[in-house]
Structure 1
Amino acid sequence: MEADTCDGCGQPLSETTRMEAFEGYDVPDPMACQGCKALINKQSDEEYAQSKYLPAFRFAVVRTWREEET
């Protein structure tokens, strides 16, 4: 399975390299992981970004929203 997986897009090469697959793929707009955005924002806070110890810090991402109950 690993040998058949394209290291660029993750799709099976046995399918993506067929003539029938010519222009048969699309790429939807990307999604943004809100957890990663929060992590990046915290890491770039001046308080942390200027620290020579930044690589040693371990940040936790904590969910603050609740799903609506139906």
Structure 2
Amino acid sequence: MSTTIGKAIRAARMASGFTQAELADWIGITDGNQISRWERGVVTPSADNVGELSRVLGVRLDSSARGAVSC
């Protein structure tokens, strides 16, 4: 599995100053470990979660483009 979107999520999260737990809380995920799984490429976030991540982090995460990120 490609970890490109995971790397993009991690970079955007760190640039925003969020911990994984804080980000999970902001996007409404009760399992803070889910952010870690996305960042490591273990699983890919759903389209809804990508949308929430984009909104909260203020970046465009395009899962269809293998993790392209734009501000």
Q: Specify which structure has the higher proportion of strand.
A: 2
Asked if these proteins are the same fold (TM beyond 0.5), I'd say no
The TM-score, its normalising length taken from structure 1, stands at 0.31
Larger-Rg structure: 1
TM-score (normalizing by structure 2): 0.30
